[in-house]
Structure 1
Amino acid sequence: MTKIAYIEDMEQWRLEFSFSIPISIRFSETDMFGHVNNVSPFIYFEEARIEFLKSLGLFASTSNKKAIPIVGDLQCNYLKQMFFNQKIQLYVKVHYVGNSSIDLHYMAIDESEEIALTGRGRLVFVHPESGKPVPLEQSIKEKLTNV
C-alpha cells in the first residue's frame, strides 16, 4: 500500500475510528467503465460528515447561527476500485480540533474488510454574514475531542 501523507501508522489509524454509516453505491455514481466516479467519494464523505456532526448534537439547532461549518479543503486517496451495488462502510473521526476549525479523517471499508478509500478534510467555522472564521465554543470543542 502506498504511503499516505496524513496517516503515520495505517493499522493504528484504522483502529481509531468508531463512527460509521453504510453506503450502497448507486448506478448514478459510476462512470462509463462501471466503477465509482472519482467525484462520488466526496459525496460519501459529506454524508458521513453530516451524520457524524448530527450524532454529536452540532446540527441540533438551526436557529443558532453564530457559526456555520464550511469545507476548507478536502482530499481523497483511492486505494481500490468500487462498483455499482457494492456496499461500503464509511467511517469518519476527528483528527484535530483547532481554534476555529477541525480536521476530519475518512475511511471506506469494502465488503472484504479492505480499505477502499481514505480521506481528510478541514472544516472551518465561519460567521454566516461576514464569512470570517469564528472561534469554536468550548462546549463544541469538548464534544469534538471526547469522541
Structure 2
Amino acid sequence: MPKIAYIDDIDKWKSEFSFYTPIKVRFSETDMFGHVNNVSPFIYFEEARIEFLKAAGLFDSSNIGDGMPIVADLQCDYHKQMFFNDNLKLYVKVNYVGNTSLDVHYMALNDREELCLTGRGRMVYINPQTGKPVSIGESMKEILAAL
C-alpha cells in the first residue's frame, strides 16, 4: 500500500478506531462500470460523521455552546473497489482537537476486513450568526477525547 500522508503507522492508526456506522452500498451509488462512484465515499463519510457526532452529544444543545461544526476540508483515498450491495463498516475517530477545530479520520472496511477507503477532514466550530470560529468548550473536548 502506498504511503498515506496523514497516517504514520497504518496498523496503529487502524487500532485506534472503535466507532463505526454500517453502510450498504446502494445501486444508485455505483457508476456505469458497476463500482462505487468516486463521490459516494464523501456521502458515507457524512453519514458516519453525523452518527459519530450525535454519539458525542454534539447535536445536544446543552453540549454545543455558541458554536456549530462545519466541514472545512475533506480528503479521501481509495484503496479497493466497492460494488453494489457491498457491506462496509465506516469507522470515524477524532485524530486531533484544537482550540476551534478538530481533525476527523475515516476508515472503510469491507466484509473481508479489507481496507477500501481512508480519509480525513477538518471541522471548524463557528458562530452561526457571524461565521467566525469559536472555541470548542472543554466539556466537548473531553467528550471527543473519550470517543
**Superposition TM-score tier, normalisation by shorter sequence:** over 0.9
2:118 corresponding residue in structure 1:
118
Shift of the alpha carbon at 1:65?
A: 6.5
- 8 Å contact kept, 2:65–2:137: no
Give the secondary-structure state (helix, strand or coil) at the position aligned to 1:41.
helix
Give the secondary-structure state (helix, strand or coil) at the position aligned to 1:45.
helix
- Superposed CA RMSD in Å reads 1.2
The CA deviation string for residues 14-68 of structure 1, in whole angstroms up to 9 with x for no partner, is: 0000000100000110111110000000000000000001011111239x66111
2:106 corresponding residue in structure 1:
106
Give the unaligned 5+ runs of structure 1: none
Question: TM-score, length-normalised on structure 1?
Answer: 0.96
- The amino acid across from 1:113 in the alignment is E
1:74 corresponding residue in structure 2:
74
- 8 Å contact kept, 1:65–1:128: no
CA distance in 1, matches of 2:142, 2:54: 15
Question: TM-score, length-normalised on structure 2?
Answer: 0.96
4+ aligned runs moved over 4 Å, structure 1: none
The CA deviation string for residues 54-87 of structure 1, in whole angstroms up to 9 with x for no partner, is: 011111239x661111000000000000000100
- The amino acid across from 2:110 in the alignment is D
1:1-147 aligned at under 5 Å gives the runs 1-61=1-61, 66-147=66-147
CA distance in 2, matches of 1:123, 1:106: 13
Count of aligned positions: 146
Shift of the alpha carbon at 1:99?
A: 0.4
Give the unaligned 5+ runs of structure 2: none
- 8 Å contact kept, 2:101–2:123: yes
- The amino acid across from 2:67 in the alignment is A
- The amino acid across from 1:9 in the alignment is D
Shift of the alpha carbon at 1:117?
A: 0.2
